[in-house]
Amino acid sequence: MTDTILFDLDGTLLNTLEDIADGVNYALTKLNFQERTLDEIKYFIGNGVVKLIDRAVPSGTTEEAKAACLALNKEYYSAHVNSKTQPYEGIMPLLKELKVKGYKVAVISNKYDSAVKDLCKLYFSDYVTVAVGNRAGIPTKPAPDAVFTALEELGSTQAQAVFVGDSDVDVLTGHNAGLKCIGVSWGFRGREFLEKEGADTVIDHPKEFFPALKSLGLPLL
């Protein structure tokens, strides 16, 4: 029985793009680097903040400067994690329906673990039981380790779970963990990209979630 739903956070449950971009550009300008556009940053997101900064800084930037940029970004973003962030349309009704039907729900993200937990507590405290972010000892997505950690904390198994995300990293994470992956087109990549990257199905609105589960042949609660 499929009774466990594992969600990505950025670009899937929450539109965090502007807050992430503000944090990146704050750090870049402090080091006299050129700011990045929202479209650029949207495609830098997905592999964790270290890779985000690595992609955002100019080519040839020293490791010392990258480390300084990372520290500045973390300082700023930690203080402004929820300035412009909002759940996507339809997400709250979906989470409420999942709770009513008895599903277990977790969030798995490459964002700082403290930020993941803070945002989940702020927006989804009634619906998300487990939140796993970027923390010591757990490799970042697309490694499956965070999935296995969440499943263990939920008391679930791979056979009971499906992964939901907006990027190629999420598709790989789900498949690396032996799960089906539902792609969401409203996030940072889009339908065509997700289909090309091998998502098992792609939805355009949260109201399509349960039909998508059925289309994958997954037994529902």
pLDDT one-digit tens code per residue, 23-82 = 999 999 999 999 999 999 999 998 989 999 999 999 999 999 999 999 999 999 999 999
Position 221 pLDDT exceeds 90: no
Task: Report whether 119 contacts 113 (CB < 8 A).
Answer: no
* 95-106 confidence digits (pLDDT tens): 999 999 999 999
Q: Which residues are catalytic?
A: 8
* 156-206 confidence digits (pLDDT tens): 999 999 999 999 999 999 999 999 999 999 999 999 999 999 999 999 999
Q: Are strands 161-165 and 4-7 parallel, antiparallel or unpaired?
A: parallel
Domains and CATH numbers, the chain: 4-15+86-215 (3.40.50.1000), 17-79 (1.10.150.240)
Question: CB count, 10 Å around CB of 93?
Answer: 11
Q: CA-CA distance, 120 to 90, in Å (whole number)?
A: 16
- What pLDDT band is residue 219 in, cutting at 50, 70 and 90? confident
Q: 87 phi and psi, to 5 degrees? A: -65, 145
pLDDT for the residue 61: 97
Q: CA-CA distance, 157 to 152, in Å (whole number)?
A: 7
Please give the helix or strand (H or E) that residue 57 lies within, else none. Answer: none
Q: CA-CA distance, 7 to 163, in Å (whole number)?
A: 6
